[in-house]
């Protein structure tokens, strides 16, 4: 049985609709399950006409009501666009719960527009966690069979240090490692943890988090059979290509992972939300308001996200048979 994959529209004023249209016209699209596009059809119609990209006649579109005051304005942040983006995600979760779809592929959203539209979430990962009532979720950035994962996600940099504790690291990394074994079908995962401070704290002269929190947590994890190496100073770790020796790389905060990940993966990176009972993937880039509606958005990341979604969903479905 082929998976049924729900695709959310993302922010209508971003590049999501264009990426969906290009995905639907991808030559091998029928090899990756049954696709259900969750969007008002008028949005696809608008971009189809504007960009001269056809909507395949056999595609299934699940519509919902559009706000009367909404007007498509590519490249603009708009609360009604944020509402549509949020409504599409909520609808996808409802379809998952009713088992009408098996997984979700999301197009990029604007967090500002999303919140202005009435959805008070700091991002996709947090929204999916709450709506699906999942105990914990993790942002797995995936490229070239390697996972990059930040321990903290959408919180201010000033709050990072106070968020970290030995217990926090132990629980988070334990669960991250567990979720990684599911993707790799293996318990022989090579994992690395990055330091928080420059030069890993330089013997406590540049910070104490390494000696007081990170190293004790790593030792505790090793004691229960989870093999984790580190902490590694991020500059040398990525600068001298040490990351190539590992399957899983765990950072302390968002940009510590996202900057090197995007430099390494380019537009081919994929975001996987781990910790859910279903598969959710997304291209790793954002709404790209600067090129919205111009027809130049590259669909490679979206195609990769669909392929990985299909593969993981097939695997998950097989495990439950």
Position 319 scores a pLDDT of 62
Pair 12, 119 in one domain: yes
Which two tokens mark 135? Answer: 């105990």
User: Cβ–Cβ contacts within 10 Å for residue 239, how many?
Assistant: 11
Position 320 scores a pLDDT of 44
Strand partners, 36: 6, 60
Start-to-end CA span in the chain (Å): 11
Residues spanned by the domain of 155: 143-266
What is the domain count for the chain? 2
Question: What is the share, in percent, of the chain residues with pLDDT greater than 70?
Answer: 98
State the CATH number of the domain containing residue 29: 3.40.718.10
Position 184 scores a pLDDT of 80
Q: Is residue 293 part of a domain?
A: yes
Q: Is residue 167 part of a domain?
A: yes
Pair 4, 126 in one domain: yes
Pair 233, 295 in one domain: no
Position 310 scores a pLDDT of 96
Q: Is residue 58 part of a domain?
A: yes
Q: Mean of the pLDDT values across residues 60-75? A: 95
Of 249, 297, 231, 253, residue with least CA distance to 10 = 297
Q: What digits encode the pLDDT tens for the residues 284-302?
A: 999 999 999 999 999 999 9
CA 2 – CA 6 distance, rounded (Å) = 13
Which residues have a Cβ under 8 Å from the Cβ of 138 and sit 6 or more positions away?
125, 149, 172, 175, 176, 179, 273, 274, 275
Give the distance between the most distant pair of CA atoms in the chain: 65
CA 122 – CA 142 distance, rounded (Å) = 21
Pair 61, 130 in one domain: yes
Among 18-32, 200-214, 281-295, name the one with the lowest average pLDDT: 200-214
Q: Name the phi and psi angles at 147, rounded to 5.
A: -110, 130
Q: Is residue 4 part of a domain?
A: yes
Pair 262, 281 in one domain: no
**pLDDT confidence band for 213 (50 / 70 / 90):** very high
Pair 232, 297 in one domain: no
Give the distance from CA 158 to its chain's centroid: 23
Q: Is residue 16 part of a domain?
A: yes
Q: Is residue 10 part of a domain?
A: yes
CA 210 – CA 41 distance, rounded (Å) = 52
Pair 168, 229 in one domain: yes
Pair 56, 168 in one domain: no
Residue 321 has pLDDT above 70, yes or no: no
Question: What is the share, in percent, of the chain residues with pLDDT greater than 90?
Answer: 87
Q: Answer with the one of 227, 247, 266 that is the final residue of a domain.
A: 266
Q: Is residue 114 part of a domain?
A: yes
Pair 296, 197 in one domain: no
Q: Mean of the pLDDT values across residues 33-45? A: 97
Pair 286, 193 in one domain: no
> In the β-sheet with 228-232, what is the strand arrangement from edge to edge?
60-62, 34-38, 4-8, 103-105, 279-283, 270-274, 138-143, 146-150, 248-251, 191-194, 228-232
Mean pLDDT (the chain, rounded): 94
Q: Mean of the pLDDT values across residues 164-174? A: 96
Q: What digits encode the pLDDT tens for the residues 214-225?
A: 999 999 999 999
Q: What digits encode the pLDDT tens for the residues 218-258?
A: 999 999 999 999 999 999 999 999 999 999 999 999 999 99
Q: What digits encode the pLDDT tens for the residues 123-168?
A: 898 999 999 999 999 999 999 999 999 999 888 989 999 999 999 9
Pair 83, 212 in one domain: no
Pair 96, 203 in one domain: no
Q: Is residue 271 part of a domain?
A: no
Strand partners, 147: 142, 248
């Amino acid at each position: 049985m082929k998976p049924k994959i729900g695709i959310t529209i993302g922010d209508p004023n971003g590049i999501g609709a264009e990426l969906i249209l290009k995905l639907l016209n991808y030559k091998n699209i029928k090899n990756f399950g049954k696709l259900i596009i969750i969007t008002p059809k008028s949005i696809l119609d608008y971009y189809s006409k504007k960009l001269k990209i056809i909507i395949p006649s056999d595609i299934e579109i699940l519509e919902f009501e559009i706000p009367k005051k909404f007007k498509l304005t590519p490249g603009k942040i708009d609360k009604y666009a944020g509402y549509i983006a949020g409504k599409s995600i909520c609808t996808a979760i409802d379809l998952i719960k009713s088992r009408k779809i098996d997984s979700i592929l999301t197009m990029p959203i604007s967090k500002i527009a999303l919140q202005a539209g009435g959805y008070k979430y700091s991002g996709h990962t947090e929204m999916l966690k709450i709506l699906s009532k999942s105990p914990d979720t993790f942002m797995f950035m995936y490229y070239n069979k390697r996972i990059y994962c930040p321990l903290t996600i959408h919180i201010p940099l000033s709050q990072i240090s106070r968020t970290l504790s030995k217990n926090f690291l132990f629980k988070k990394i334990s669960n991250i490692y567990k979720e990684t074994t599911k993707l790799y079908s293996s318990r022989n995962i090579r994992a690395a943890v990055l330091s928080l401070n420059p030069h890993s704290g330089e013997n406590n002269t540049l910070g104490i988090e390494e000696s007081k929190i990170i190293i004790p947590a790593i030792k505790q994890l090793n004691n229960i059979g989870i093999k984790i190496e580190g902490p590694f100073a991020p500059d040398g770790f990525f600068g001298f290509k040490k990351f190539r020796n590992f399957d899983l790389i765990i950072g302390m905060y968002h940009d510590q992972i996202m900057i090197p990940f995007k430099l390494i993966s380019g537009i081919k990176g994929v975001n996987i939300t781990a910790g859910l009972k279903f598969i959710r993937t997304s291209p790793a880039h954002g709404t790209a308001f600067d090129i919205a509606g111009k027809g130049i958005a590259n669909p490679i990341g979206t195609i990769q996200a669909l392929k990985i979604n299909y593969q993981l969903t097939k695997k998950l479905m097989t495990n439950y048979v």
